[in-house]
Structure 1
Amino acid sequence: MSFGDDEDILQDFLVEAGEILERLSQQLVDLEQRPDDTDLLNAIFRGFHTVKGGAGFLQLTPMVECCHLTENLFDILRTGKRTVTSELMDVVLQALDAVNQQFELVSRHETLPPVDASLISALERLVSCEDVAPAAAPEPVATAPAPAAAVPDGDITDAEFEQLLDALSPETAASTTPSVAAAGSASDISEDEFEALLDQLHGSGKAPGKTAPAPAVKAGNTDDISDDEFEALLDQLHGSGKAPGKTAPAPVAAAAPAPAASSSASTSDSISEDEFEALLDQLHGKGKAPAAAAKPAAAKPLPQAPAAAPAAATPAAARPVEAPKAVAAANHDRETPPAVETTVRVDTQRLDDIMNMVGELVLVRNRLVRLGIGSQDEALVKAVANLDVVTADLQTSVMKTRMQPIKKVFGRFPRVVRDLARNLKKEINLELVGEETDLDKNLVEALADPLVHLVRNSVDHGIELPEVRETAGKPRMGQIVLSAEQEGDHILLAISDDGAGMDPVKLRRIAVERGMFDEDTAARLSDTEAFNLIFAPGFSTKKEISDVSGRGVGMDVVKTKITQLNGTVEIQSTMGKGTRLIIKVPLTLAIMPTLMIMLENQTFALPLASVNEIFHMDLRKTHIVDGQECIAIRDQAIPLFHLKQWLVKRPWQHDKSDFAHVVIVTVGTRRVGFVVDQLIGQEEVVIKPLGKMLQGTPGMAGATITGDGTIALILDIPSMLRRYARGSASWGHN
């Protein structure tokens, strides 16, 4: 599909419609929880209407058709002809899915196929209201008006207006003119009768039948009328106790200028609520309700008529009631200058290029700082110090331009939880906390799939069926909380549920059954280590495979992905109370703080996020536990590995009489010690990808240029342990 000259318009449409469709997904789920939320109904209606308008301009007919029917359905929901049900929401969500699929095709410039006929049929059936009982229809009838719909405080509904007329005494009906009596007895009023009524209303302000000439007051006069005059008006309108015309306010529209009244009466049988409000404004310029109408109108004093109303008499011939609003808007536009745009759209590739250049600047800064340390030139030292500060500020600012709220990820989960809960016959409420927490856009995209796996896992494995929860003394509806918060230069994401929790005994038994451990080794696993077994490839607690879970693939993918992001996963669980998974990831992936170490003459970088503590220790105090060299730190045995043995040369044997630096790092929930020759210090580095010959090397995450100009390899600790450590199977799921 080619859009030719409309390509720029298409790009604007894709940006705007994409944002609207993201919001609609969450709004629709919220509406199912709050079906009486009028503002939410209106927002969804406007969302589909806006997408339809843009699609129509680009001649995307299938998208227009789908949005139009959905928009009509929400218009019916707004009028109260239908109510929100789960079955109705199923159809609406299918329509949203169809629009999203069409949106993806449009973004790829592909031709849109026709909308699924079954979806169109389902929407048309809902719009037609064929399955709704006639009594539920909001269309008023002459003998039994429909109950008044909820309106803002101070407004009077059509039903309330009719009740007001019914409550008034019909004794004055005898004094009405034949034309008015006819209007009271018929369901509609003719144009001649309507104009005659206007002449009576704008004579001397007195009830018909008196001698005051009709043209005494000009049709365009907006002076106030007295309470007695308003009562006389109601007496004229009363007739048989029903308001003339299709709706009660229709005859009263004559309070607008006379030339406009004829046009209005000839084009429509009824007036809108806004027009009725404007009419009341003209009738009661002082904002005081007449005595006879005090009871229904007491909720809100009527506002004073606008001063500009007489000046609007000429343009009011086209649109009598809206003319004062148009004049006011025009005056406002003349007085208020147009707002200046405060945002600009920038291609993400340009942001990435800027970030790369800032990364190079950081490397140069590091080099200059290293050179300035040994310099005796005070001016040079000050200049380097200033450069250091400015570079740090620039780095922070550029990083902020790449930040996006994690709401972009969180927004999809209400729909995921809703659909999965209905599929599993569970009742679940999802709570989102910290949606405005900012995160690097690359991390936002990378975290989407792992979080989906974890949320689905909480719904499927965590929350019990409603009957089971009731038996356990819990509410039928389960609770899942998805939260995000910033902690230093890291983001903490947590998925919590109040479900059944995890059974460490069961997890150990499954590990033995699958041959991962023998019984003795499995028995020595702590509860936390048992919980981490769920991250092992192929590990699953489900006995039956379904379309939701059971294959033991999802959690393995989650752990691998988060590890690639230099993040960690921690599991906290209590039987019968629930489970909490905590993900910790850095704010950005572009620049990484590291601990620089030396192995003989080669420099390596350990990600600082993994470093727990550093010791200078006597290696003669090590012990052998289960064939693994360990060192005791605070009464805990920590495995010890010599990085030189893996990364510099082999075979190699160390001298146990030597002292050495030991770096304690955290891998999952376990800690290990790395023996290194020398510690250089902390340094922020820019990660550079490895060349083709080194790509895929176990234990290597990338390379960087150090402050002294040399190249250092950045270590990938989990993959290095899996490759070199003894009992590597046990490191695969920690």
Structure 2
Amino acid sequence: MALEADEDILQDFLVEAGEILENLSEQLVDLEQHPDDADLLNAIFRGFHTVKGGAGFLQLDALVNCCHAAENVFDILRNHKREVTSDLMDVVLEALDNVNEMFDQVRNREEPSPAPDELIEALKQYATPEGEGGQPAAAQSSAQPEQAGGSQGSGASGEDAGDITDDEFEQLLDALGDDNASESSQGSGGDQQQASSSGGDDEISEDEFEALLDQLHGEGKFSGAAVSTDIDDPDKGASESAEPAPSNSGGGDDLISDDEFENLLDELHGKGSGPSAQGAAGQQPAAPKKAEHKPESKPEPRKKEDKPAPAAKSGGKEAAPKGDTTVRVDTSRLDDIMNMVGELVLVRNRLQRLGSESEDTEMHKAVSNLDVVTSDLQSAVMQTRMQPIKKVFGRFPRVVRDLSRNLKKEVELVMHGEDTDLDKNLVEALADPLVHLVRNSVDHGIEDPDVREKNGKPRKGTVTLSAEQEGDHILLSISDDGAGMDPEVLRRKAVEKGIYDEDAAARLTDSECYNLILAAGFSTKDQISDVSGRGVGMDVVKTKISQLNGQINIESVKGKGSNIIIKVPLTLAIMPTLMIMLGDQSFALPLVNVVEIFHLDLTKTNIVDGKECIVVRERVFPLFHVKRWLVPASAGEEPPKDAHVVIVAMGTRQVGFVVDQLIGQEEVVIKPLGRALQGTPGMAGATITGDGRIALIIDVPSLLHHYG
């Protein structure tokens, strides 16, 4: 890799190529389902071509070679010389995996490792028209030595005679510079003979660019309107373009064909050692950008569209480039801003408490205004950290495709709500749990095609992945139309594994049985495979969701399928809570766990299985005096005759917490516990309340697991 490459150019490549590679994974799986989709074939071809161009510009030869070999395969496919097959897609997906590995190495500023020779050879074989023994033109060109920094031919046209080296390219430019007058006579207009670039050594003039095209593609092939527009005098360029000029595009004097455009990109992109990569407009060399922004919807792109329009110049102010509307900001800076907004929320809470105790009308107005501004600022800063959950969903088509082939099953993945936004940290944290749940649905849920057919189902099963926003939470659903779960089997497994005795297992509701699969070591698989069956994973998923202050619930119907529902907050930075008092100490219960609150006569409790319980609307809830756990000094106190009870939920399980006093709802900023308190059972962190006191935030699952 050219380690001396400009950091901005490298960052542009990493951003643009990263987005393309994310899309390619989904597009390739989609292509296998729709092999005749010409738009999809072209999009994949251009994706590999664009990454290849950017990699060539940065002299990433290994990445160039792999992308070029894959690109040739799709040139053959889009020209209908070979059909899409599962075996072909296996090879192409393996190539994409290698490209992603190389891309990660480049991101870490390492030299990318070349793809295996056998993979490149397999790609070359698939780049040969079906039924032919020899390699086609595209595959043959890929066998030629790749030049450092060069971008190979796209294979879009059989006219491409191969690339020239950097030295030959520089010599061509030197020749153009030494004999500018004679070369420019081949251009579009003699009046422009003296025109030269004002940008210094890193730019070439219109005449030099015209002559360069003649050298690359034959004299006069691109003359005329294709390149004759004068940047400084658009009207002049327009008048000159009126002269007829030979053109092979077939679409008018100012148009070039798709193949010609691809070849021109091949010649100009990637030759980054010299000034040629900047093109006629004197722009900075950004090969990846130029390739990516090639309009796919226009079969014959106009070269003139890269020039400023006369109207824009006459208006006195040109429109700002689109790239200028965005700024790349390090996520740590956004985290700092979010932390400061959190501190502002605490100050707002404090002022609201003081304002409520004051009779000053102006004070109330000022505090109300501060409340509105703080809420708006909090929302705006949260939006800067938001990402669509498509960042996670995008990997699942490939996961389902590979797993279904491995298990000899037919599975279709359907996704909804990919544009739902949530905090960047949550997007990253949800990736592994969701991958495990999707794999479980394919392995455990979807039956073999023959079994489905016997049961009157379509041979192809369906896994549905959806996301939607509900208030300040996100609901995620992973459902399948597979075999579902049998609650009786789950009860029997629970007894066998010693999780429940027979009497307790018999009292479990069906919903509670389904949630047994979240227990550590619980598995209904009789045979262990490399996918599942060891009883690990689902308990890790439950733990991870709990750490995100979320909930997971499982629904199922035997023979119809299962549905796993996950509920997580939009952000982890600021949490809505219910503030309670235990003695003279404040605690915060995450509002996501709170189901209902009521006042209870504690003399009317019952004892079931040795545990104190209450009956509310014919439902039985275990009752816990959390004050005895969290405030040791209260252990010997006489229990009160009446108290407030907060019903909290974890999945389908609901219990009652007895508390001394309810303060109300309050948004809090989670602060980590100090080193001496880290790992305290039942505590998720701490915060500062509106009255300036410190309150501990209760981790409900951890609290019950440790004490209950």
TM-score by length of 2: 0.76
Q: Please say if 1:618 is aligned against 2:548.
A: no
Relative to structure 1, is the Cα distance of residues 381 and 422 closer, same or farther in structure 2, using a 3 angstrom cutoff?
same
Q: Please say if 1:601 is aligned against 2:584.
A: yes
- SS of corresponding position for 2:254: helix
Q: How does 1:83-98 map to 2 (within 5 A)?
A: 83-98=83-98
Structure 1 residues 272-305: Cα deviation after superposition (integer angstroms, max 9, x where no partner): 9xx9xx9xxxxxxxxxxxxxxxxxxxxxxxxxxx
* Aligned-residue offset at 1:114: 2.3
Task: Letter of the 2:241 partner, please give it.
Answer: A
User: Structure 2 residue aligned with 1:335, among 308, 311, 325?
Assistant: 311
Relative to structure 1, is the Cα distance of residues 125 and 643 closer, same or farther in structure 2, using a 3 angstrom cutoff?
same
- SS of corresponding position for 2:245: helix
Choose 416-425 or 548-557, whichever is displaced more: 548-557
- SS of corresponding position for 1:675: strand
Structure 1 residues 113-164: Cα deviation after superposition (integer angstroms, max 9, x where no partner): 22111111111111133x52699x999xxxxxxxxxxxxxxxxxxxxxxxxx
Q: Please say if 1:724 is aligned against 2:707.
A: yes
User: Structure 2 residue aligned with 1:312, among 208, 227, 241?
Assistant: 241
CA contact (8 A) 1:595 1:680 kept: yes
Tell me which residue corresponds to 1:220: none
Tell me which residue corresponds to 1:585: 568
User: Structure 1 residue aligned with 2:621, among 632, 638, 652?
Assistant: 638
Relative to structure 1, is the Cα distance of residues 309 and 36 closer, same or farther in structure 2, using a 3 angstrom cutoff?
farther
Q: Please say if 1:79 is aligned against 2:79.
A: yes
CA contact (8 A) 1:620 1:657 kept: no
* Aligned-residue offset at 1:309: 9.8
Tell me which residue corresponds to 1:50: 50
- SS of corresponding position for 2:371: helix
| Counterpart Cα distance in 2 of 1:640 and 1:317 | 89
CA contact (8 A) 1:618 1:657 kept: no
CA contact (8 A) 2:593 2:650 kept: yes
Q: How does 1:338-353 map to 2 (within 5 A)?
A: 338-341=319-322, 342-353=325-336
Tell me which residue corresponds to 2:343: 360
| Counterpart Cα distance in 2 of 1:21 and 1:317 | 39
- RMSD between superposed Cα atoms in Å: 2.8
| Counterpart Cα distance in 1 of 2:303 and 2:46 | 26
Relative to structure 1, is the Cα distance of residues 331 and 709 closer, same or farther in structure 2, using a 3 angstrom cutoff?
closer
Relative to structure 1, is the Cα distance of residues 128 and 677 closer, same or farther in structure 2, using a 3 angstrom cutoff?
same
Structure 1 residues 176-202: Cα deviation after superposition (integer angstroms, max 9, x where no partner): xxxxxxxxxxxxxxxxxxxxxxxxxxx
* Aligned-residue offset at 1:425: 0.4
Q: Please say if 1:435 is aligned against 2:434.
A: no
Relative to structure 1, is the Cα distance of residues 630 and 557 closer, same or farther in structure 2, using a 3 angstrom cutoff?
same
Task: Letter of the 1:582 partner, please give it.
Answer: I
Relative to structure 1, is the Cα distance of residues 57 and 328 closer, same or farther in structure 2, using a 3 angstrom cutoff?
closer
Q: Please say if 1:527 is aligned against 2:510.
A: yes
Choose 709-718 or 648-657, whichever is displaced more: 648-657
Instruction: Quote the sequence identity (%).
Output: 68
* Aligned-residue offset at 1:7: 2.4
Tell me which residue corresponds to 1:295: none
Task: Letter of the 2:356 partner, please give it.
Answer: I
* Aligned-residue offset at 1:655: 3.9
Relative to structure 1, is the Cα distance of residues 11 and 385 closer, same or farther in structure 2, using a 3 angstrom cutoff?
same
- SS of corresponding position for 2:11: helix
Relative to structure 1, is the Cα distance of residues 113 and 133 closer, same or farther in structure 2, using a 3 angstrom cutoff?
closer
Q: How does 1:214-253 map to 2 (within 5 A)?
A: none
User: Structure 2 residue aligned with 1:324, among 254, 263, 284?
Assistant: 254
Relative to structure 1, is the Cα distance of residues 423 and 38 closer, same or farther in structure 2, using a 3 angstrom cutoff?
same
Q: How does 1:252-651 map to 2 (within 5 A)?
A: 311-312=240-241, 314=243, 316=245, 323-325=253-255, 329=305, 333-336=309-312, 337-341=318-322, 342-649=325-632
Relative to structure 1, is the Cα distance of residues 479 and 705 closer, same or farther in structure 2, using a 3 angstrom cutoff?
same
Task: Letter of the 1:521 partner, please give it.
Answer: A
Tell me which residue corresponds to 1:256: none
- SS of corresponding position for 1:128: coil
Structure 1 residues 483-504: Cα deviation after superposition (integer angstroms, max 9, x where no partner): 0011111110001100000111
Task: Letter of the 1:592 partner, please give it.
Answer: M
| Counterpart Cα distance in 2 of 1:652 and 1:588 | 37
| Counterpart Cα distance in 2 of 1:331 and 1:646 | 73
Instruction: Report the structure number with the largest CA radius of gyration.
Output: 1
| Counterpart Cα distance in 1 of 2:41 and 2:542 | 40
Q: Please say if 1:124 is aligned against 2:124.
A: yes
Tell me which residue corresponds to 1:12: 12
* Aligned-residue offset at 1:380: 1.6
Choose 334-343 or 679-688, whichever is displaced more: 334-343
- SS of corresponding position for 2:6: helix
Tell me which residue corresponds to 2:158: none
Relative to structure 1, is the Cα distance of residues 638 and 34 closer, same or farther in structure 2, using a 3 angstrom cutoff?
same
Tell me which residue corresponds to 1:35: 35
- SS of corresponding position for 1:690: coil
Choose 492-501 or 4-13, whichever is displaced more: 4-13
- SS of corresponding position for 1:123: helix
Q: Please say if 1:3 is aligned against 2:3.
A: yes
Task: Letter of the 2:515 partner, please give it.
Answer: N
Task: Letter of the 2:79 partner, please give it.
Answer: T
| Counterpart Cα distance in 1 of 2:306 and 2:447 | 60
CA contact (8 A) 1:616 1:662 kept: yes
* Aligned-residue offset at 1:377: 2.0
- SS of corresponding position for 2:64: helix
| Counterpart Cα distance in 2 of 1:533 and 1:320 | 67
| Counterpart Cα distance in 2 of 1:330 and 1:115 | 36
| Counterpart Cα distance in 2 of 1:2 and 1:506 | 61
TM-score by length of 1: 0.74
| Counterpart Cα distance in 2 of 1:541 and 1:721 | 26
* Aligned-residue offset at 1:511: 1.2
- SS of corresponding position for 1:4: coil
Relative to structure 1, is the Cα distance of residues 15 and 595 closer, same or farther in structure 2, using a 3 angstrom cutoff?
same
Tell me which residue corresponds to 2:653: 670
Relative to structure 1, is the Cα distance of residues 36 and 52 closer, same or farther in structure 2, using a 3 angstrom cutoff?
same
* Aligned-residue offset at 1:418: 0.3
| Counterpart Cα distance in 1 of 2:303 and 2:387 | 42
- SS of corresponding position for 2:84: coil
5+ unaligned residues in a row in structure 1: which ranges?
A: 140-259, 279-307, 726-734
| Counterpart Cα distance in 1 of 2:379 and 2:310 | 42
5+ unaligned residues in a row in structure 2: which ranges?
A: 139-209, 227-236, 256-301, 313-317
Structure 1 residues 696-733: Cα deviation after superposition (integer angstroms, max 9, x where no partner): 110000000111111100000100000001xxxxxxxx
CA contact (8 A) 2:2 2:58 kept: no
- SS of corresponding position for 1:547: coil
Task: Letter of the 1:456 partner, please give it.
Answer: R
Relative to structure 1, is the Cα distance of residues 654 and 668 closer, same or farther in structure 2, using a 3 angstrom cutoff?
farther
| Counterpart Cα distance in 1 of 2:661 and 2:307 | 76
Relative to structure 1, is the Cα distance of residues 69 and 619 closer, same or farther in structure 2, using a 3 angstrom cutoff?
same
| Counterpart Cα distance in 1 of 2:541 and 2:128 | 46
Task: Letter of the 1:485 partner, please give it.
Answer: E
| Counterpart Cα distance in 2 of 1:328 and 1:6 | 29
Q: How many residues align?
A: 568
| Counterpart Cα distance in 2 of 1:565 and 1:267 | 59
- SS of corresponding position for 1:696: coil
- SS of corresponding position for 1:673: strand
| Counterpart Cα distance in 2 of 1:320 and 1:62 | 34
* Aligned-residue offset at 1:339: 4.7
Task: Letter of the 1:78 partner, please give it.
Answer: R
* Aligned-residue offset at 1:320: 8.3
Relative to structure 1, is the Cα distance of residues 375 and 124 closer, same or farther in structure 2, using a 3 angstrom cutoff?
same
Tell me which residue corresponds to 1:213: none
